[in-house]
Structure 1
């Protein structure tokens, strides 16, 4: 698999970030990030997965295996959003609560259309 730097650039631009902002968000040096974008360096698989997660896309998209940049998994971190993490955790433990909340969600989203 070959990393498609142009796809990382496209996602970064869609997020409205410049290279320096993207590097900070990924906790890497601007120079290191720039080497990925200009194709001087190939990121490891783990780094591609981290970039995909951080930029809300998939590693398959960044490798050119799919043309759909939409993620199919969402990770919720207890340290980044403890309330949302607790909420989702409660839903996983209580399937009847999950069903009731999904019904409410569907009604609310249908009313907003």
Structure 2
């Protein structure tokens, strides 16, 4: 399941083996081993692949049929009474900006 989804997602994004290898900091052949199943992906690489392909790692692993879980918000330590609505909005905006920057870096 992993190898099929990895290949399908890469192709749907118009990426080559070399594109993926460059994004992962490895050789084209090394990346090709992931798609062929000759090499097992470690957790750090799995997370990076999920980010590059914009899906959840569970989708790549075949643990869910949903490519991306719907975001339902942010959980803050201490409960909702610990932060004002203004503070929560600032933290949410900062998180959105961080996620956008991360996407740009992975392109």
TM-score by length of 1: 0.59
User: Which protein has greater RCO, CA pairs closer than 8 Å, 6+ apart?
Assistant: 2
What per-residue deviation string (whole Å, max 9, x for no partner) do you get for residues 34-59 of structure 1? 00010001111221111101211111
d(CA) in 1 for partners of 2:22, 2:59: 22
**Unpaired runs of at least 5, structure 2:** 72-86, 94-107
When residues 94 and 34 of structure 1 are mapped into structure 2, their CA distance, relative to the original with a 3 A threshold, is closer
d(CA) in 1 for partners of 2:40, 2:29: 14
Please name the residue that 1:41 is paired with.
Answer: 39
Please name the residue that 1:100 is paired with.
Answer: none
Q: After TM superposition, which residue ranges in structure 1, 4 or more long, deviate above 2 angstroms?
A: 70-73, 89-95
2:10 is the alignment partner of 1:50: no
Contact 2:24 2:45 in 1 (8 A): no
**Unpaired runs of at least 5, structure 1:** 74-88, 96-113
The structural deviation recorded for 1:26 is: 2.0
Contact 1:12 1:18 in 2 (8 A): yes
1:1-113 aligned at under 5 Å gives the runs 4-70=2-68, 72=70, 91-93=89-91
d(CA) in 2 for partners of 1:22, 1:65: 23
d(CA) in 2 for partners of 1:93, 1:4: 34
Greater CA radius of gyration, 1 or 2? Answer: 1
d(CA) in 2 for partners of 1:38, 1:94: 39
